Structure 1
Amino acid sequence: MNNRRKSFTVETAAAAGAPASAEELLGRMVGFETVNPLMGGPAGGEAALAAHLEWLATGWGLRTRRLPVDDGRFNLLVSCEVAGDAEWLLFESHLDTVTVDGMTVEPFAAKVDGERIYGRGTCDTKGSGAAMLWALRDRAAGGERRRNVGVLFAVDEEARMTGARGFAAGALREFLPRLRGVIVGEPTRMQPIVTHNGVVRWRTRTRGVAAHSSDPTKGRSAISAMRRALTDFEENYAPTVNAVNALTGRAAASVNTIRGGTAVNIIAEECAIECDRRTVPGETTEQVLREREAAFAGHAVEHDELYVAPAMDAEQSGALHAWVARAIERHGGDATPRGAPYVTDAGHYAAAGAASLVLGPGDLAQAHRANEWIARDQLALATAVYLELMRQP
C-alpha cells in the first residue's frame, strides 16, 4: 500500500482524549507506527506509543515505571498495587510490529469491518496489550483488590527480544519472591500455551583471497569454501536434528540467508550464512554449540552474532496453568494446555525463574499478514479473562 496515513504522535493522540473501550484503545495503539527499527521502522516509534500509554495510565490512576533496556530503549510497566508485601501477577505484551510493506489494508488506522478489526499489530500483539491495559483500568476502578498487578509493554520482540531479555535479567528479580506468574500476550485464540520451542541462531563466515576474475588462480573463493561447508551442514548435520517434544513438535536446523562477494568480476573474499537451530525443551545452548563445531569440523569457518531465545518447559508452568484455566473456563474458553513450535518472550521469563505461559486473543494465522486482523469477540474475551485473573483468588 503506497498511501500510508501518517501515524499518531504523542500530541495528536493526547488531543483525541482517552479511549472509551478496549476496541478504541486498540485503535489508538495501532495508530502509532511501531514497526521494529531492524525491519525498517522509525527510531522512537515504540517510545512514542509507550509515552502515550503512560499518559493514559496516569489519568486512570495507575502507576507507571520506565525500565531501561541496554540499547537505549525502555520497557513500560503499568501497575495497580495494593501493598508492598502482596502477591504480584504480571502480564506482558510487546510494543513493536513487523514491517507494513505489501499491506492491503491501512496499517496505522484500525478499521472495524463487521466482526473484525484490521491493521498492523491488531493481532500481533497490540490486541493483547489493549485487553491487558483495559482490564487493569477496570480492575483499578473496581472493588476488592487481591494482589498487585502489572502490565509490561516490552520493546523489540520481533527482532532481538532485547526488552524481554533486559526485564528478565533486571527488574523481574524484584518480583520473583512474590510472583504468581507472567502471562505473555501472543495470538493463541485465548488457549494457553504452556510450553514452546527455543532458538539458537548464529552467523558463519568463510574467508578467501580477492583477485580479478580474469585469473581466478590468483585468488581463493570464499563462496566455494562456503559451498562445501554448507553441503556438510545440510546433508550431514541437519537431518540428524530430530529431537521431538509431544507438545511443541520437532527440533530443526536450517540455513536461511547467504551473502558473498562484492562484484561479478572479483573472486569473493568473504561469504556468510545465517543458521537457525530450533530447540525443543530440554535441549541446551551448550549442546547446540557442540553440534555446530562438529557440523563444521574440517572447514575453515568463523562464527559470530550468537542469538539465543530459550525454550519454555511445561513443568514450570503447570501450577500457573491450573490457576489460569479456571478463569478461561469460567468464560467458556478452552483451557487445554498446548505447546507451540515458535519462541516468545515467555521463554526468557521462565529461564529467569518465573512461572510463565502464553495467552492472548487472535489467531497466529492472522498475524504478519497483508490484511492483519483480529476478531472483536476475541478481544472482548481476552479483556474479560485478564480481568478475571486480576481478581480471582
Structure 2
Amino acid sequence: MKTLDPIFNEIRKEWLDHILPFWARLMDEAYGGYYGEVDASLTAKPLAPKGCIANSRILWSFAAAYRVTGTEDYRKCASHAFSFLTERLLDPEFGGLIWMADYEGNVLDARKHIYNQAFGVYALSEYFRATGDADALKLAQELYRTIETVGYDEQIGAYREEFDREWNEQPNEMLSGSGVVADITMNTHIHVLEAYTTLYRIWPDPQVRQSLDRLLSILHDRMFDAELGRLNVFFDKNWASLTDVTSFGHDIEASWLIQDAIEAAELSNPNYKQMVLALARSVSEHAIQSDGSVMNEQEGGRLDTTRIWWVQAEAMVGFLNAYELTGEAGFLELVRKIWSYTSGKLIDPRPGGEWYWSVDGQGNPDGREIAGPWKCPYHNSRFCIEVLLRLERLYQEA
C-alpha cells in the first residue's frame, strides 16, 4: 500500500462529523449521563431509562476519541459519562455496576451481570488511558477483582453470567437467546477478554496477563469448533453446546479481539493465531452476501441475512486485521466492499441521524431505535478508530 486507502478520509469524516456529534447531542445536562433512547423518527426520549452498558460504551467512545485526537470536547463528553457511572450506576453497598437506572439516575434494575462489569472495566481503562484519572484506574481494578473472585467459576472453568444485587447467582435471562437459558456464553467471554486487554495496557499486572491467557484457552479449548470454523455460542455448566448457531458478527469480532489480546499480553501460543485466521476465513467464505454486506447468523439450516449495524462494523476491523496478518488482498477488498455497502445503506442520511440498527435485503430500515440500551456508539466509532489507525500504520510501513 503506497498511498492511504481512498476510504480513509470517508471513514474519518463519518466518525468526526457524524457519529460523535450525534452522541454528544444526547448529553443530559439536567440529570447526568446521556438520554436513554432516540426512536426511529430521531426523537430523543429524555425520560427513557439509562442502561449501564450504554453509558459505559459512550464513556469508552469519547475517551478513545479524546486519546486519538486530543480534542477537549471529547474529554468533556467522556467525563460526563464517567461521573454518571460513578455516582449513579455503581452500587455503593454491594459493589459492582447495576443494570439500569431511570432517567433521573435512580436505580431501576439492580441486577449484576459479568458482561456489564466487563464493559465497566473496558470503559474505565480507556478513560484512564486517555486522561490519567487515578480514580478510574482504581475502579477498573476493583471491578476486575470482582469479576475474578465472584464471576469466575473454578470448578467449571468459565465465567458466570447473571447475579442479583447481592451477588447471588441467577438464571442468565439477560444474555441468553435462541430459546435457551445459557449458563455460559461466548459473548460474555469475548467481552471480558476485550476489557482485560485494555486493562493490561494500563496496568500490566501478571495476574491480568494470566487471566487473558486463561480466557484465550477457554475460547480455543472449549468454545472454538475448528471443524466449522466458529465459536459456539451457548453452553450449560457441563460445557454441552445448547444450540447450533453460527454468529458471524461475534466470530469476526472475536477474531480481532483475540489477536489484540495476544499482542497486548505478548502471548505466543500458535493455536490462538490459527483460531484468529480460521474465524476470519470462515466468515469470509460463508457470510458475505452478493451486495458486499455481512449476514447476521445461521441457526441450523436457517440463514438470517439481516444487515445489522454492528456486524458490518466489526467485520471491517476483523478483515483488516486478517489482511495485516496474511497480506492477502482479498481481505482488504472485503473491507472496501463492506464499507461501500455500509455507507450507502446503513448510515442514516437524515439530518441528525446516525446508523440504522439494521436494514433488509432491499435496504429498508427496520424501524428500531437509533439509540438505546444496546444501540450505542461503541461498535461504529471503534471501527472508525481501528481502521484509521491500521490504515495509517500500513501506509507508514509501505
Do they fold alike, i.e. is TM over 0.5? no
Which is strand-richer, 1 or 2?
1
If asked which structure has higher relative contact order (CA below 8 Å, sep 6+), I would say: 1
* CA radius of gyration, larger in: 1
TM-score for the superposition, normalised by structure 2: 0.29
TM-score for the superposition, normalised by structure 1: 0.29
Which is helix-richer, 1 or 2?
2
